[in-house]
Amino acid sequence: MQSKSEAGADQTPQANAGNAEPVRWDARRSIIRIVVSLVLFFAFMATLAKLAGPRIEAAGQVFVDKFGLAGLALGTIAADAFSLPPPPLFYIVIVATGTESHLVGMTVISFASMGAGVLGYHMASLLSARPFFRRRIDATRARMDKLFERYGVWAFAIASATPLPFSLMCYVAGVYKVKPKLLALVVLFRVPRLLVMYWLVRAGWMTGSG
């Protein structure tokens, strides 16, 4: 007759294998969704460039002439700190399709977005008292909690590769009162996401207008 400890030793690997398989499947499915969404976004930008490229480029130039780099910075802060429209993608399109320095434009957007994330973190307790923000924060917390259960503190880094709005991630970080080191991780992972968006806009635009 097997002892309880021996029986438990026989069952544990099977239980672990059963738990690991859904996690691997969920991760694989998430990667597929991300890849598909990137391909669709690239195709959308190429189509947009083909159908309305000159008009969008002209409108972007008007924005730059009127508001300059300060407009890019303030618009990005409004979008990423307060979830106000238009989204950061609007400003990335202006830079990626414009004639001004793309390096300077994306640097301004990146620093503005990171600063907005820190601002959103510190304003989380105030914003969460507003019904509009509270509903969105609660919905994001439910998704973040699932990531926390599986990946711990790396949940924020993984979430940065998903469609979750950056502003809401920072609000959740503020509600959880995460440590400064983790907040820095959340903010820094924003930059690669912005650069990927820029590259997709630029590549799609060149494909559609070429």
DSSP string, 53-90: HHHHHHHHHHHHHHHHHHHHHHHHHHHHHH-PSSPHHH
Contact 147, 159 (CB under 8 A): yes
| Contact (CB, 8 A) for 140 and 186 | no
pLDDT of residue 119: 95
Q: Residue 139 has what pLDDT?
A: 81
What pLDDT sits at residue 4? 44
With left for phi above 0 and alpha for psi between -120 and 50, is residue 150 left, alpha or beta? Answer: alpha
pLDDT at 193: 92
| pLDDT > 70 in the chain, percent | 87
**Higher model confidence: residue 149 or residue 92?**
92
**Is 92's pLDDT higher than 60?**
yes
- pLDDT tens track for 114-129: 999 999 999 987 877 7
- 163-204: pLDDT as tens digits: 788 888 898 888 888 888 888 988 998 999 999 999 999 999
Write out pLDDT tens, residues 1-46: 444 444 444 444 444 444 455 555 466 777 788 889 999 999 999 9
Which comes out higher in pLDDT, residue 92 or 2? 92
pLDDT-derived band at 162, boundaries 50, 70, 90: confident
> What pLDDT score does 27 carry?
64
First vs last C-alpha separation in the chain: 76
Q: Which residue has the higher pLDDT, 49 or 145?
A: 49
Name the residue with tokens 């502003």.
167
